[in-house]
Amino acid sequence: MTYFHRLDEHTFRASEHTGGAWREDEQHIAPALGLLAHVVERDRDARRDDGLVLSRLCYDILGTVPVAEVTTEVRVVRPGRTIELVEASLSHAGRPVALLRAWLMAERDTTAVAGTALPAIPGPDELEAWAPGETWPGGFIGGVEVRRHLEEPGRGWFWVRTPVPLVEGEPVGATARVAGLLDIANGMTVRADPREVHYPNIDLTAHLLREPVGEWLGVDASITFGDNGIGLTSSRLHDANGPLGSLAQCVTVRPR
């Protein structure tokens, strides 16, 4: 069980566990977004030894991708001693599928001024198990574990984890592992039945306070559909140590 098998330095083969929720012969983009974060971290570690932290992950989703081979490329856009901007791309058959622009920052001790107004959410042990496969098809959704509280359609909070490794046979950092789950936020507190309304996201931007801790990702999500075919999923992220950051996804709303 793994999402991707590495074939060479830049090429990976997707497994059936990446199968999508809108179409099962297409990849759910979530593991691919995690893969891009992973190759950025590997590139960072090959160039430097100070372990800059990925503090912002800004993805543009350019199209669908089959469950097949993909290639990745990484380049440094803005080098720096304590802050740098790195860009990564994912392609299939020469066609770009997703782009990532990631800001990486050096950590320093700011304990004396640390604090947050972000509210916590109940932990995974306090929520009921929910089977997302009852709402969504696909290999990716079928392989995750979810605990959820649905306040109302389009509003709620949940915790998610997966036993499936991102890349076969190689260590994956905590940020890349969590990045491979972020895109699930758009579908766990559904506003409308996906059999009646399609609402895939065209981008995803996460701001992270630190590297994630623990195997669970917590998401406090609100889904909004405008009356003009445009929607927004806004989320606060949590981990075992509390508030972790924020997440936003722009949605194209398409009644069937």
Domain count, the chain: 1
Is the residue at 55 inside a domain?
yes
- The Cα–Cα gap between 201 and 254 comes to 11
Is the residue at 183 inside a domain?
yes
> What is the predicted pLDDT for the residue at 41?
98
Sign of CA dihedral 133, 246, 252, 178: negative
Is the residue at 185 inside a domain?
yes
Chain-centroid distance of CA 223 in Å reads 16
Could you read off the pLDDT tens digit of each residue along the chain, which spans 256 residues? 999 999 999 999 999 999 999 999 999 999 999 999 999 999 999 999 999 999 999 999 999 999 999 999 999 999 999 999 999 999 999 999 999 999 999 999 999 999 999 999 999 999 999 999 999 999 999 999 999 999 999 999 999 999 999 999 999 999 999 999 999 999 999 999 999 999 999 999 999 999 999 999 999 999 999 999 999 999 999 999 999 999 999 999 999 8
User: What pTM did the predictor assign?
Assistant: 0.97
Neighbours of 33 (CB within 10 A): 24
- The Cα–Cα gap between 101 and 218 comes to 23
> What is the predicted pLDDT for the residue at 198?
96
Strand partners, 233: 223, 249
Amino acid letter, residue 60: D
CATH number at residue 234: 2.40.160.210
Is the residue at 128 inside a domain?
yes
> What is the predicted pLDDT for the residue at 92?
98
> What is the predicted pLDDT for the residue at 124?
98
- Domain span at residue 71 reads 4-107+120-255
Is the residue at 115 inside a domain?
no
- Tell me the chain's radius of gyration from C-alpha atoms: 18
Is the residue at 196 inside a domain?
yes
Is the residue at 113 inside a domain?
no
Burial 99-132 (b: 16+ CB within 10 A, else e): bbbbbbeeeeeeeeeeeeebeebeebeebeebeb
Is the residue at 114 inside a domain?
no
Strand pairing of 254-255 and 217-225? unpaired
